Amino acid sequence: MNLTVGNGSAIPLNITGNNNLTGLMNAINGAGAGVTASITTTGGRDYLKIVAAGGATPITLNDTPAGSPVNLISGSNQGSDSSFTLNGTINVTNQATNVFSSVIPGVTFTLLKSSPGPVTVALATDPAQLTSALQTFVSAYNALADQVTQETGTGAGPLGGASTIRDISEDLGQLSGYFASTTSTVRSLSDLGITFDNTGQMSLDPTVVAAFSSTQLADAFKFFGSGNSGFASFASNFTMISDPLSGTILNEENGLDTTDTNIASEISTLQDRATLTHNANAARLEAADALVAQLQAKQNAVNAEVESIDFVNFGAPLTNSSGR
């Protein structure tokens, strides 16, 4: 195949070894032609989409067998940028895509075709999504509570008594006991189907949220609130503990590292001091041994001299009461 972008020369594409839509996409993306190819699916069918980096540009893609070429993409069927207005106030113009995920937070929608008049888009809360999120929360809570339990009480692990464990335990208690001071239909975790057993572990009854009315679903999201209010505000407490740059866990680790370094330095200093003391004592012992040897030699010399005098004076060595 040949690819032509704008007024440039035709670029040959060889997909003999991978003669399918994916192979064609990879060949185009590897051609360095200033365009990006991708595969989109609409109505159960796959389509090749080619977008020029500089905006709308004539793009031609020709199938070139031995006979006459077949024009697959030409100037007559070029795509156009998307433009629309949301709620009469938010203008989105000249976008080289039909898929939008940043216009409405948490919502992704696809433009399928142009419309001369307004199109109504209806959004509905899916209770299954809330139930899934609650189950993830319950699992995470139980895992953290288990780890805290292992570091508390008489059977505490190496972190027993650490301030971080105490802080996490207090935060978990505040989280589990949160009660919203509103007249909403959802004011606590129990209203969402979450209960606790006698070990402090959470469990979720998924049928509770599944049976919520639209009003209850709306109240559930109000209960969670945001990062600065409602149940979700507790997230900041845990962030203060686990933040990889300034959290209390990091600070405690740094403190332990510093203590470990100081202890290692003290051990090294004591070892050096012990080595010096040992060497000094060894030198003293060597000197004492040498002095003892000298004294023994002198004593032997004195004894020999005494015996010599005894022989001269008395013809034999004298003996004392001890046998000498």
Q: What is the pLDDT of residues 51-94, one digit of tens each?
A: 887 666 778 888 877 666 677 766 555 667 788 888 888 888 87
What's the average model confidence in pLDDT over 43-48? 82
pLDDT, position 67: 63
Tens digits of per-residue pLDDT, 181-212? 877 899 999 999 999 999 889 999 999 999 99
Tens digits of per-residue pLDDT, 210-253? 999 988 998 998 888 876 778 888 888 888 888 888 888 888 88
Domain range annotation of the chain: 2-77, 80-123, 127-242, 247-324
Percent over 70 (pLDDT), the chain: 91
pLDDT, position 2: 87
Tell me how far apart the alpha carbons of residues 69 and 157 are, in angstroms, rounded to a whole number: 75
Q: State how far Cα 142 lies from the chain centre.
A: 19
The four Cα atoms 63, 64, 70, 71 give a dihedral, to 10 degrees, of 60
Number of alpha carbons in the 13 Å side-chain half-sphere of residue 25 = 13
pLDDT, position 77: 57
Tokens of 304: 């020999």
Tell me how far apart the alpha carbons of residues 229 and 233 are, in angstroms, rounded to a whole number: 5
Average pLDDT, the chain: 85
Number of alpha carbons in the 13 Å side-chain half-sphere of residue 189 = 20
Q: Is pLDDT at 276 greater than 90 in this prediction?
A: yes
β pairing state of 45-52 and 59-63: unpaired
10 Å Cβ neighbour count for 25?
A: 19
